[in-house]
Structure 1
Amino acid sequence: MSAAEHSDTPASRGRVGRPPSVEARQRTLKLAGELLDQHGYQRMTMDDLATGAGVSKKTVYRWWPHKAALVADVIADRSFVRSVPDSGDTREELLELFDAIQAYTRSRDVHLMTMLVDMAVADDGTLQRALSNTISLRRNAARLVLQRGIARGDLPVDLDCDTLLDLWNGLAAYRQSVRPAPLPDTTVAQLVDLALAGHTPRIGEAG
């Protein structure tokens, strides 16, 4: 076999121009999240990402045309939503929902989300769409828990689910960032019991 023939074997053709693997893309995406956590959106560069992931800068831009698109994928990749299963016990489910809210406020992801809210103002819409999608996933899962309680007759039929969730999320975030102190279990139980007693925001009530 001649040298020319040998260079055209299937094995050789497989090595030339082989597209980057799925594993390489996922590795790059994971590293992007780590760089975001360490340096923030502004200081993270596509050059550093390509070098750290061991891929070419051209490959990175083939996967993500700009940094905002990359970060949007990081957000989506981290968008694990902790669901609260239907146990038939509304109080137990509300306690678990509040626990999930507090766990999220303690996670690294809430820091990333807060940082990107500011960045999204100057963005072309890519980050804002990613943030909205992630928030919607979490909000829909939480709203479902409240709607089950309404269907059972345990919560008011005119409960303003979104405002109640805003109050609970806001309290958890405040206690995590401004006044770092965990909410006692007794306080969480009192908040849940207030909701079950009907002391909740209502749809249509004057604010």
Structure 2
Amino acid sequence: MGESSPSRPRRGPRRDPLAHQNVLRAARELVREVGYQQVTMEAIAARAGVGKMTLYRWWPNKAAVVTEAVADQLAPPPLPDTGSVREDAVEYLHGLVSTLTQLGDPSVVAGALTERGEPGRAALRDILRDRFQPGAELLRRGIERGELPAGLPVSAVVESWSGFVLYRIVFRERTPRDDELRALVELLPEAGDQG
């Protein structure tokens, strides 16, 4: 009984870890260089040094490769703590924008996710869910410090922030500016305001 060579690539659905990382890196590089629409599975395979059929065994299409390539880089940022809930919220929103525009073009991440139908929407929900808790936490901290009213609907505020950012990126195809994010944060009521 002979043993298979250790340098021989795996076949089938099991992914060689090095080849897998090379593919994800190649996808990110190509999207940055030529734009999402110009990237092809052939170009990703060539850049990564793997066969095109390998890509199709591991991912059904380009959108799936790019989605994973981006998600692979999206660790949630640390929760801001500037001492001001409004400044924390602005930093949080900049982090959310950065997450959804990871590859430069504002529509790339959202486009790659939404093109995939329900799997893409599920991936986008997961990315946003990872950022929901920090946003809620910074608002609760603002309530505890007396900067925001006790009855603030925390979940609704964080969801509205996500909705605003997604709308700008997906439908307006542009990155929200700092002044727009600050205007959004200024909608937060003061602690003494009636809710």
Shorter-chain TM-score category?
A: 0.5 to 0.7
2:64 pairs, out of 63, 69, 72, with: 69
2:143 pairs, out of 150, 171, 175, with: 150
Under a length normalisation based on structure 2, what TM-score does the superposition of the two structures give? 0.68
Cα gap change, 1:63 to 1:119, in 2 (>3 Å): closer
CA shift at 1:120, angstroms?
Answer: 5.0
Q: What are the Cα deviations for residues 144-189 of structure 1, in whole angstroms up to 9, with x where unaligned?
A: 2112333455422321334544359848x69xx5886x54xxx78x
Cα gap change, 1:63 to 1:199, in 2 (>3 Å): farther
Question: Which residue of structure 2 lines up, in the alignment, with residue 3 of structure 1?
Answer: none
CA shift at 1:94, angstroms?
Answer: 4.1
Distance 1:157 1:110 in 2: 38
- Are the equivalent residues in 2 in contact too, given 1:84–1:93 (CA < 8 A)? no
Name the count of aligned residue pairs. Answer: 181
Distance 2:164 2:110 in 1: 16
Cα gap change, 1:117 to 1:170, in 2 (>3 Å): same
2:70 counterpart letter in structure 1: I
2:139 counterpart letter in structure 1: L
Distance 1:169 1:99 in 2: 17
Question: Which residue of structure 1 lines up, in the alignment, with residue 88 of structure 2?
Answer: 96
1:51 pairs, out of 33, 46, 49, with: 46
- Are the equivalent residues in 2 in contact too, given 1:97–1:142 (CA < 8 A)? yes
State which structure, 1 or 2, has the greater radius of gyration over its C-alpha atoms. Answer: 1
- Are the equivalent residues in 2 in contact too, given 1:101–1:169 (CA < 8 A)? no
Distance 1:122 1:27 in 2: 23
1:138 pairs, out of 131, 145, 148, with: 131
Secondary structure (helix, strand or coil) at the match of 2:6 reads: helix
RMSD, aligned α-carbons: 3.9
Question: Which residue of structure 1 lines up, in the alignment, with residue 116 of structure 2?
Answer: 123
- Are the equivalent residues in 2 in contact too, given 1:117–1:128 (CA < 8 A)? no
2:87 counterpart letter in structure 1: L
Task: After TM superposition, list the pairs within 5 Å mapping 1:13-52 onto structure 2.
Answer: 13-15=5-7, 17-19=8-10, 21-52=16-47
CA shift at 1:29, angstroms?
Answer: 0.4
Structure 2 residues not aligned, in runs of 5+: none
Secondary structure (helix, strand or coil) at the match of 2:90 reads: helix
1:197 counterpart letter in structure 2: A
Report the identity percentage.
25
Cα gap change, 1:73 to 1:97, in 2 (>3 Å): same
